[in-house]
Chains A and B, each alone.
Chain A
């Protein structure tokens, strides 16, 4: 809905509105607002609704955050409660 494809394309796979997925969503939104303001998009895929999508990104665990772009694909599983690890995982922040 925004302009062209965003610089950071993030996908969050969840399985229903579980506490973990709600937490994960709020966490990633928070970090993205701080670090990637205006250059990101988050798509939420509920596997309960579209289970066939799980195969494409090799989703095993939920919640899983997938960085589609920039490449390479990175995956972060869990409720994303550790900000440091999420940022390192997404390669937003270099490893200290």
Chain B
């Protein structure tokens, strides 16, 4: 009888062994990290962050995963390297003295070397082996191996030896990163490394309209699925962080808790009485329609409820914002002093979209706000094109949703006749949950502001355009005033109101007059009734008198009659 192998249970899915990189976001894209015990190639042009990424991989390996590392540099002396990464908070010397890291600088000086006859690179292997063994390394970086090609002539030997090196690294069981300069037609100059590596990542540094963006893409990953898109990444004081665009799934938790809009009267336009917590609100409108004011109202309301709020101002400085809002009776300074509100003012062009996103990400991590306001997002268009802005906003919204943060964006749009949304709006309008528009309503020599709700996911809302006014007491939503041709605003509203008052007064006086007339008529009637009554009474009286006289007469007659008969 044949023994049947017990089949593995379904849930015990095979997972490709991976080594976490410790680079924020990269593990997400690679679904766990670089292939464990195999070489990975990182290639890209000059200054795109190859060395930094590999250094971060090593150092995170030591600090976060207890995996020691070897950095073999062919380009920079180890002293320079230590200094370069020190600014990112990596202390190589300390790690070296703790025997967790070896930095070996391999110098290939063409002028010193003469080649004659057969040779191999066993010396390099021995060095690497020695370095790996001396700290029991699990991670190895070779930066940039093709420098060898510049130093040595015999290409055939080098190619063969390089191939051998990759196999040797695999056999050694170390997770290795090999960096390579980007070639003209191939990924690397030699066109070799990408074929012998198990994972190839390309880094790119592009300048579009004077704003630079770094991007990362995984070209191949043997034995594993991976994100295939280009992902923007950033280098800042914490090293590299990759921002996945689409790795976030739409499965964030939702809250049915409501937050007030802060604007008196606006809450009432929503059936629920406000926004859902964690939803996104877009306020769009033309210039001067009080978008920022509404945003400030919202911020103020949240701060009053002790919710931490971050206000990103892309147009005004914090001081200016505070002053302006004070003029309509909103004291933002008080909240800032309490530590509930942070205003971050920067020009959108200060840095690329990604860096803005990163700032936000960091703030969310550190400050843990429950409300975020971006005023306005349309300004970001100046930094990137529509697609980039859209992708950035998608990621932003995803991030905010994942953290259950209520976000309010304002967007400036151009006044158009057909009143269709333009660029910024278009790029987010489908993403946001609630969309409020403030608009100018021009006519008969004046301009009035109107507010209405375009959409509100998961909540019924008013369909009216409400006029609102801003005075020193703040925003006031006025009651709807209907005229013969729809709703009335401003002076028309006033004149209509006046007309109505006049009409009402006239009606009242008419009524009064009628009342008086009736009164008079009643009085006449009553007088008539009294007269008739008098007449009637006199008739009755007369009749009574007559009757009495008759009675008396017959009585007397009766008394006298028998006497005469007897006689």
B119 interfacial contact with A, CB 8 Å:
yes
A:42-96 near B, CB below 8 Å: 47-48, 51-52, 54-55, 58-64, 72-82, 85-86, 88-89
In chain A, residues 1-53, which have Cβ atoms closer than 8 Å to a Cβ of chain B?
Answer: 13, 15, 20, 23-24, 47-48, 51-52
Residues of A within 8 A of B109 (CB): 58
Given A48-B126, A55-B127; A62-B119 close (CB under 8 Å)? yes
Give the complex CA separation of A59 and B104 in angstroms.
12
Interface residue SS majority, chain B:
mixed
Name the one of A60, A76, A82, A89 contacting B123, with C-beta atoms under 8 angstroms. A60
- B115 touches which of A47, A62, A73, A76 (Cβ 8 Å): A76
Query: In the complex, are the beta carbons of B116 and A20 less than 8 A apart?
Result: no
Does A13 contact B123, Cβ atoms closer than 8 Å? yes
Contact yes or no, A75 B106, CB < 8 A? no
The one of A15, A62, A80 in contact with B116, judged by C-beta atoms closer than 8 angstroms, is A80
Q: Which residues of B contact A13 (CB under 8 A)?
A: 123
Please indicate the chain B residues that have their CB under 8 angstroms from the CB of A48 in the complex: 126
Report if A82-B126 is in contact (Cβ < 8 Å); known contacts: A60-B108, A60-B148, A61-B152: no
User: Smallest CB-CB separation from A72: which chain B residue?
Assistant: B112
Whether the pair A51, B130 counts as a contact (CB closer than 8 A) is: yes
CB neighbours (8 Å) of B152 from chain A are 60-61, 77
Task: Give the interface residue-count category, chain B.
Answer: 20 to 34
B112 touches A73 (CB 8 A): yes
Name the residue among B112, B117, B121, B130 with the largest chain A CB count within 10 angstroms: B117
Q: A77 CA to B117 CA in the complex, in Å?
A: 8
* Residue in B106, B119, B123 whose beta carbon sits within 8 Å of that of A79 in the complex: B119
Contact of B119 among A63, A85, A86, A88 (CB under 8 A): A63
Q: Please tell me if the beta carbons of A75 and B112 are within 8 angstroms of each other in the complex.
A: yes
Give the residues in chain A near B119, CB-CB below 8 Å: 20, 61-64, 77-79
If the complex has contacts A59-B127, A60-B148, are A76 and B120 also in contact, measured as CB distance less than 8 A? no
A39 to B117, CA, bound (A): 25
Complex Cα spacing A74 to B114, Å = 8
Q: Check if A47 sits within 8 Å of B112, measured CB to CB.
A: no
| Docked complex Cα distance between A35 and B492 (Å) | 113
State the CA gap A78–B152 with chains docked (Å).
Answer: 11
Residue of B nearest to A19 (CB): B118
Is B545 in contact with chain A by the CB < 8 A criterion?
Answer: no
B123 to chain A, nearest CB (A): 4
Is A60 in contact with B116, judged by CB distance below 8 angstroms? no
Instruction: List the 9 shortest-distance A-B pairs measured between CB atoms, nearest first.
Output: A89-B114, A51-B130, A78-B117, A81-B117, A79-B117, A59-B123, A15-B122, A82-B116, A85-B116
- Interchain residue pairs with CB less than 8 A apart (17): A15-B122, A51-B127, A54-B126, A60-B106, A60-B152, A62-B120, A73-B112, A74-B114, A75-B114, A76-B115, A77-B115, A77-B119, A78-B119, A79-B116, A85-B116, A86-B114, A88-B114
List residues of B whose CB falls within 8 A of some A CB. 104, 106-109, 112-124, 126-127, 129-130, 148, 152
Beyond contacts A61-B119, A77-B115: 16 other A-B pairs, Cβ-Cβ < 8 A, are A47-B123, A47-B126, A51-B126, A55-B104, A59-B123, A59-B127, A60-B123, A61-B152, A62-B123, A64-B123, A75-B112, A78-B117, A79-B116, A79-B118, A80-B116, A86-B116
